[in-house]
Amino acid sequence: MADDPFENMLAQMDRAEEYADVDHGIFERLKHPERTLKVTLPVELDSGEVEVFEGYRCQFDSARGPFKGGVRFHPSVTQREVEALAGWMTWKTALVDLPYGGAKGGVICEPKDLTKNDLESLTRRYTEGIRRMIGPETDVPAPDMNTNPQTMAWMMDTYSMYEGHSVPQVVTGKPLEIGGTPGRVAATGRGVSIVTERLFEYLDRDLSGASVAVQGFGNVGSNAARLLDESGARVVAASDVSGAAYDPDGLDVAALGAHVDAGGLMEEYVAGEPRATLEDRRTSGGNQYDDPDQITNEELLTLDVDVLIPAAVEGVITAENVRDLRASAIVEAANGPTTVAADEVLTERDIQVVPDILANAGGVIVSYLEWVQNAQEFSWPLETVNAELERRIGKAFDQTIEQYDQKDLPDLRTAAYTLALERTASAHEYRGLFP
Ligand code: GLU
The crossing angle, in degrees rounded to 10, of helices 5-17 and 79-95 is 40
Cis, peptide link before residue 274, omega less than 30° from 0: yes
Domains 5-169 and 187-354 share a fold: yes
435 Cα–ligand 1 center, Å:
32
Task: List the domain boundaries for the chain.
Answer: 5-169, 187-354
68 in contact with ligand 1, CB cutoff 6 A: yes
Quick check: CB of 93 below 6 Å from ligand 1?
A: no
Supply the pLDDT for residue 280.
56
Superfamily covering domain 5-169: Leucine Dehydrogenase, chain A, domain 1 (3.40.50.10860)
Percent of the chain with pLDDT over 70: 95
CATH of domain 187-354: 3.40.50.720
pLDDT of residue 275: 43
**Does ligand 1 have an atom closer than 6 angstroms to the CB of 229?**
no
Which tens digit of pLDDT belongs to each residue from 70-126?
A: 999 999 999 999 999 999 999 999 999 999 999 999 999 999 999 999 999 999 999
The pLDDT value given to residue 84: 98
User: How far apart (Å, rounded) are the C-alpha atoms in residues 389 and 149?
Assistant: 19
Verify whether ligand 1 is closer than 6 Å to residue 69 (CB atom): yes
Query: 125-139, 286-300, 401-415 — which is least confidently predicted?
Result: 286-300
The stretch 236-245 carries a mean pLDDT of 96
Pick the atom of ligand 1 nearest to 71's CA: 1
Confidence of residue 291 (pLDDT cuts 50, 70, 90): confident
Q: Whose CA is nearest to atom 8 of ligand 1?
A: 364
What residues are annotated to the active site? 104
Per-residue model confidence (pLDDT) at position 3: 76
Q: What does the pLDDT look like over 334-370, one tens digit per residue?
A: 999 999 999 999 999 999 999 999 999 999 999 999 9
Average pLDDT of the chain is 95
* Distance between CA atoms of residues 23 and 39, nearest Å: 35
Confidence of residue 273 (pLDDT cuts 50, 70, 90): very low
> Order of strands across the sheet with 102-108?
35-44, 50-61, 102-108, 67-73, 139-143
